[in-house]
Amino acid sequence: GRVPPRQRLRLLAAMQLAAHGGYLLALGLSLYFGRSPTPAPPAAPAAPVGLGGPARACVCEVRTVAYGTAEADAALAEHLERNVPLRIVGVPEAAVPSLTDALLRETVGNRVVELRAMGARGRVAKFAQRRNATLADALADGGALAGDWYAAQLSIPRRLPDLGSPELLEPRLGIGGNWSARAGKAVEASPYLYYHGGGAAGPALYLHYDAAENLVQVLDGWKEFWLYDPFQAAAVLYGSNAEYGNASPVDVESPNTTKDFPLFRFAVPWKCRVSAGEWLYVPLYWWHGVRSSEGRTVSLAHFNHGDREKKGFFEKTMCGYSMRPAAFECGKRKR
C-alpha cells in the first residue's frame, strides 16, 4: 500500500543507520516511530454529589412528586402508611401563606418569643442558650438579633395567633383534600414557625426526632435535611431519652463525629434539600438534622398525631424491642 511521506522518511533513516552498523539504534527508532500515541490520562472522577459537594443544590434522595397530581395523592397515602419520607414540589403560591417581614412586623412583631443562640457553623444545640425577645428583634432588615439567634418552633396558636388560625394555615393537598385528613388530628400547638433573618451561616438544628407526623412547608430560602430511619436510630445514633430527650449528641456536620461516636459511621442518611415552594413529609420517629440557608429562611411545620398502631410499633422498635416473627433470630441452623 501507499506509505505516507513522513513514515517513508522515518523508514529510510532507519535503513541508513542499519547499513552503518547501527542495528540496535535503528530497531529502537523503528519501535519508537511505530508505537501508538501515549493515551491521555483518565479524567478525574467527578466530585461526589451530596449535601457537602458542589452539586448539593440538586440533590434529594427522597422520592419526589409534583403537587396536585394523582401520583402525589397516591404517594402521600402510601408513604404515610409505610412511614417513609416524601418531597412534594411545584406547590403554587396560592396554596401557602405569604409571611413577609412587613407582615410579621405589623401583625406579630411585638409578640415576645423564645430565641435560640447559634454557635460555631450556625449550630443550634439541644440545650443552646435561650432568651426572650420580640419577634421584631429576630427579623431581617435591622433586627437586633437577626444574625445570631434563631426563632425555632414558635407555636402559632399559642404565641402568634394573629397570623391566622390552624384551620386557615392548614396545608391543602390539591386533589387530595387537606393534610390533617391524612395524618390524623393536629397537635394542639401546631403549626410552628421557624424563622432566621440571614447571616454568615444559616442555623443548623441538632439531630432529633418528633413523635408525630410532620409536614414541613418551606416558604423562603431552603433547608437541607439529614434523615435517619428509626431502625438505625435504635442502634447507631447514640440517643437517650434520659440524657438528651428527643435528641442525639451526634453533630452530623462535625469532622470529629466518627471519632467521638464510632458506630455512627454505619448510619446511612437520606439527604434532601427542600426549597421555597416545596414540602417535605418527615415521618414520626425519623431522626433529622436540618441546616437552613444563609439568607432569610422561613418555614412552617405541621405536626399531627398519626396512626396510633403505627406510632406504637416504631416507638418500640426505636427502643430496642424485637418484633416476632419478623425479627432476625440468631443461633445454629436447624437440621
- The CATH number of whichever domain residue 125 belongs to comes to 2.60.120.650
Question: Is residue 6 assigned to a domain?
Answer: no
Residue range 130-156, pLDDT digits in tens: 999 999 999 988 888 888 899 999 999
Question: Is residue 323 assigned to a domain?
Answer: no
Residue range 58-83, pLDDT digits in tens: 579 999 999 999 999 999 999 999 99
Question: Is residue 144 assigned to a domain?
Answer: yes
Q: What's the domain count of the chain?
A: 1
pTM (2 decimals)?
0.81
Mean pLDDT over residues 9-27, rounded? 44
Question: Is residue 3 assigned to a domain?
Answer: no
Question: Is residue 26 assigned to a domain?
Answer: no
Termini Cα distance of the chain: 74
The range of the structural domain enclosing residue 163 comes to: 71-267+279-318
Neighbours of 144 (CB within 10 A): 13
Residue range 273-328, pLDDT digits in tens: 999 999 999 999 999 999 999 989 999 999 999 999 999 999 998 888 877 778 78
Question: Is residue 287 assigned to a domain?
Answer: yes
Question: Is residue 223 assigned to a domain?
Answer: yes
Given this model, what pLDDT does residue 214 score? 98
309 burial type by CB count under 10 A (0-12 exposed, 13-18 middle, 19+ buried): exposed
Contact 269, 252 (CB under 8 A): yes
Question: Is residue 9 assigned to a domain?
Answer: no
